[in-house]
Amino acid sequence: MCAAYHTLAPQDRQAEYQKVQAHFEDLKTRGLKLNMARGKPGKAQLDLVSDILTVLVNPADCVSDGIDVRNYGELTGIPAAKRLFADILGCKSEECIIGGNSSLTLMYDTISKAYTHGLLHSEKPWCQLDKVKFLCPAPGYDRHFKVTESFGAEMIVVPMTPTGPDMDLVEELVRDPAVKGMWCVPKYSNPDGIIYSDETIRRIAALKPAAPDFTVMWDNAYCVHEFDGPFVPFADILTLCREAGNPDMVYEYASTSKITFPGAGISVMASSVDNVAYMEKLMTVQTISYDKVNQLRHVAYLKDKEHTLALMQRHAEILRPKFQCVLRWLDSEIAPLEIASWQRPKGGYFVSVNTKPGLAKRTLALCKEAGVVMTGAGATFPYGKDPQNSNIRIAPSLPPVEELEQAMDVFCTCLKLAALEQLAQ
Amino acid sequence: MCAAYHTLAPQDRQAEYQKVQAHFEDLKTRGLKLNMARGKPGKAQLDLVSDILTVLVNPADCVSDGIDVRNYGELTGIPAAKRLFADILGCKSEECIIGGNSSLTLMYDTISKAYTHGLLHSEKPWCQLDKVKFLCPAPGYDRHFKVTESFGAEMIVVPMTPTGPDMDLVEELVRDPAVKGMWCVPKYSNPDGIIYSDETIRRIAALKPAAPDFTVMWDNAYCVHEFDGPFVPFADILTLCREAGNPDMVYEYASTSKITFPGAGISVMASSVDNVAYMEKLMTVQTISYDKVNQLRHVAYLKDKEHTLALMQRHAEILRPKFQCVLRWLDSEIAPLEIASWQRPKGGYFVSVNTKPGLAKRTLALCKEAGVVMTGAGATFPYGKDPQNSNIRIAPSLPPVEELEQAMDVFCTCLKLAALEQLAQ
């Protein structure tokens, strides 16, 4: 194994370059077509849950709490689905609105309604304000940033730390009344895979924002998504906000997209009963109900939190070897070279690699040349601009392990090549 | 049977009043609890289509055109669902975006995006305009009007005629650049149940609006919903608009809500390929895909237009006796009295009764007293204000015929009572 690149004499570096370059050329000849771009479950995970297709078979199966779920009605969702999510999230069922197959849509709708109608405590709709600013802990989830970008909000990067967003900075920034909200993925954050510390969460719940309608967008996307070890209990942000005197400050989101089918699950938005009542009034105009047959299908299949957690352990058995593969390659091929660092998540869908500054774009361009598609460089930052050109999100869930081995070979080779090119400049 | 009320001598009128009043008191003692408020299918219709629950059973069933519908992707819908709706609507599959369970949500989203982002030919988002006006043929669908009302548009009533909206007025109104669009239910209009004439449709397609982003919201909710007689072919509005030089002026909507399950169907938005491309770009931010498992479930169950029309004839067998019941009561009990007129629809979900001016609210208040809930008076007009206080929407689909007989007894009695009260003033 080679020593740390920055310690190499020019001659040794040249030798290493030739070796890595030769391997890269060899990889290119293999005509690979591999994808580690998105947190997309693999086929084995889809097959694992396909019994959900047949839990509702005849008309009698379609009645829940006296409601025929096949007909119109129940705008905010069936009670049984609210109970299921309340059980999973640790909130109350009356704090839940059950949505369609996409929690992202619920988040988009919240921001959209803030712009067109205002939120509960808004003085006016955000579209009537000169300036709306939004806090974006980064690296973060590209689709969050796209939502606020799409509406023209000014996005302010808040650095992520191993315990969550830099809270000193957040507390300072929320004193600006134009700062209207903040994106959070509090458990197994996308992409770092870290869990916000208790102190971070308490400080978020206790924020004293200048804007009366400041909104924490709490995307609990990976609430039960441990792939290594048992379920990690997690504080209920709704309770914490209420106790801190901020009952209406947070909207929490979750979905079954990575529990059952990614494209055909159900989602939830949980917030204070006052926020739920406010949103229900606005939603009346938008739909008659979400798909309640699918809500009941999920209740029949997932049953409760305990049963859901048992299923998640079976997903974990499929996912764990994939993450182990990624980390094994990084540990053996990259660690000694001192050209990148990474987190070691125990849940979620990503491994976040931070290269030495300036290497991310080049690494991913080389990967593409060799047939490996990854999340675009910069995607984890607002406006797609990673100031260090350093963060790379690896999404290992889709390919089978044998393909992942090849993809990681490509990735490590390309990262080495990019680092050596930079050192040669 | 009594003669026309307006011809009665005071003494005869008094006698009739006492007779009707006595019957009303009798009806009240029956403790009825009947609902003719919304176009909600009855249980027999839900049972008719419940085989859809089991058309997808195992993983192999979930592949369509090589796409595993269980996973993320295919933002605008699976090709097979686009082909199905293109077949039904007579448009091209590339003109279709397949949505979730609610076409109302697709309509809301279109208006919402017009406000926040603007449409393809908008000079700026509508939220930045001083004034947005919207044409509302009335009586019409209350939820359409609620959407535009919710966004603060000024709604302009356009009277409905037996051939559709008053087109002379529409052609004049669209010369105002603040007029941004128009709601239409072109086939079996809600609530009148009339079909726009060919000439009306051609004139709509050929409009020359001052606003470059004028948008016809073409809610083809009852496109295959004949309950009396065979399928009535209907012009493709997309083609007509294109031929008239207005390719991007129309968005068409439809759904399977009254074909399969009302709360768990799929929907479509059809528009020009340029509009589809524009909307797809905005939708990328909002969701990863709609529920493709449900899309494929519908394709497997409905197959094609021919098979769908055969199913609709079975719905018709359930619905026809209900509409016949309504018309029989109106014909025998109300027609001779000359206190109201109505359409005789052959499709759709409603019978629209126009009472003599000033009777609608009182009639419905009396119905409520006797335990019969109907669509609120005025609901079929923008802002809930029926200038004549005359239009009443009867929705006979939900109750079984035996309940409907009782409900119509109540309705006719209350309408008589309201008319007699008015004459006594």
Could you write out the DSSP letters of every residue in A21-32? Answer: HHHHHHHHHT--
Which residues in chain A are contacts of B68 at CB distance < 8 A?
Answer: 43, 46
Looking at residue A41, its pLDDT comes to 96
Which residues in chain A are contacts of B292 at CB distance < 8 A?
Answer: 263-264
CA distance A143 to chain B (A): 6
Of A68, A74, A262, the CB nearest to B72: A262
Inter-chain contacts counted by CB atoms under 8 A, chains A and B:
174
Nearest to A259 by CA among A101, A108, A404: A101
pLDDT over 80 (residue A212): yes
Q: Could you count the other beta carbons within 10 Å of the beta carbon of residue B245?
A: 10
Which residues in chain A are contacts of B71 at CB distance < 8 A?
Answer: 40-41, 46, 261-263
Q: Do A68 and B46 touch (CB under 8 A)?
A: yes
H or E element that contains A99: strand A96-99
User: In this structure, what token pair is assigned to residue A63?
Assistant: 């009645």
Coil, strand, or helix at residue A289?
coil
Q: Do B59 and A47 touch (CB under 8 A)?
A: yes
Of B56, B73, B143, the CB nearest to A53: B56
Return the residue in A38, A64, A72, A183 with the most chain B beta carbons within 10 A, the one to mutate for interface testing. A72
Task: Give strand ranges (E) for A223-350.
Answer: 250-255, 267-270, 340-342
| Residue B69 near residue A264, CB atoms below 8 Å | yes
- DSSP code string of B141-172: -HHHHHHHHHTTPEEEEEEEETTEE-HHHHHH
Of B68, B112, B294, the CB nearest to A116: B112
Q: Do B71 and A262 touch (CB under 8 A)?
A: yes
Of A40, A72, A108, the CB nearest to B38: A72
Of B59, B117, B287, the CB nearest to A102: B287
Looking at residue B17, its pLDDT comes to 97
Looking at residue B1, its pLDDT comes to 72
CA distance B66 to chain A (A): 14
Looking at residue A322, its pLDDT comes to 98
Looking at residue B224, its pLDDT comes to 98
- Judged on CB neighbours under 10 Å (0-12, 13-18, 19+), B130 is exposed
* Cα B261 from Cα A209, distance rounded (Å): 45
Which residues in chain B are contacts of A144 at CB distance < 8 A?
Answer: none
Q: What are phi and psi of B159, to 5 degrees?
A: -65, 140
Bridge partners of residue A63, in order along the sequence: A68
CA distance B403 to chain A (A): 19
Position B239, amino acid: T
* Cα A103 from Cα A252, distance rounded (Å): 10
Rounded to whole angstroms, the maximal C-alpha distance in chain B is 78
Mean pLDDT of A295-310: 98
Of A59, A104, A115, the CB nearest to B288: A104
Nearest to B53 by CA among A55, A145, A398, A50: A55
CA distance A151 to chain B (A): 7
Q: Do A69 and B291 touch (CB under 8 A)?
A: no
- Closest chain B CA to residue A293: B264
pTM above 0.95, yes or no: yes
* Cα B116 from Cα A266, distance rounded (Å): 26
Looking at residue B406, its pLDDT comes to 97
Of B125, B285, B292, the CB nearest to A147: B285
User: In this structure, what token pair is assigned to residue A219?
Assistant: 């995307």
Sequence length of chain B is 425
* Cα A392 from Cα A377, distance rounded (Å): 6
| Residue A137 near residue A164, CB atoms below 8 Å | yes
Q: Do A50 and B71 touch (CB under 8 A)?
A: no
Looking at residue A414, its pLDDT comes to 98
* CA angle, A18 then A23 then A24, to 5°: 95
| Residue B145 near residue B107, CB atoms below 8 Å | no
Return the residue in A45, A76, A101 with the most chain B beta carbons within 10 A, the one to mutate for interface testing. A101
Q: Do B100 and A53 touch (CB under 8 A)?
A: no
Which residues in chain A are contacts of B53 at CB distance < 8 A?
Answer: 56-58, 61-62, 293
CA distance A35 to chain B (A): 14
Which residues in chain B are contacts of A73 at CB distance < 8 A?
Answer: 40, 263
User: In this structure, what token pair is assigned to residue B270?
Assistant: 């059809």
Q: Do A70 and B261 touch (CB under 8 A)?
A: yes
| Residue A164 near residue A200, CB atoms below 8 Å | yes
Give the neighbor-by-neighbor strand order of the sheet with B154-161: B96-99, B267-270, B250-255, B215-219, B179-184, B133-138, B154-161, B164-165
Q: Do A54 and B57 touch (CB under 8 A)?
A: yes
pLDDT tens-place values along chain B, 425 residues long: 789 999 999 999 999 999 999 999 999 999 999 989 889 999 999 999 999 999 999 999 999 999 999 999 999 999 999 999 999 999 999 999 999 999 999 999 999 999 999 999 999 999 999 999 999 999 999 999 999 999 999 999 999 999 999 999 999 999 999 999 999 999 999 999 999 999 999 999 999 999 999 999 999 999 999 999 999 999 999 999 999 999 999 999 999 999 999 989 999 999 999 999 999 999 999 999 999 999 999 999 999 999 999 999 999 999 999 999 999 999 999 999 999 999 999 999 999 999 999 999 999 999 999 999 999 999 999 999 999 999 999 999 999 999 999 999 999 999 999 999 999 98
Of B102, B143, B294, the CB nearest to A264: B294
pLDDT over 90 (residue A1): no
| Residue A72 near residue B40, CB atoms below 8 Å | yes
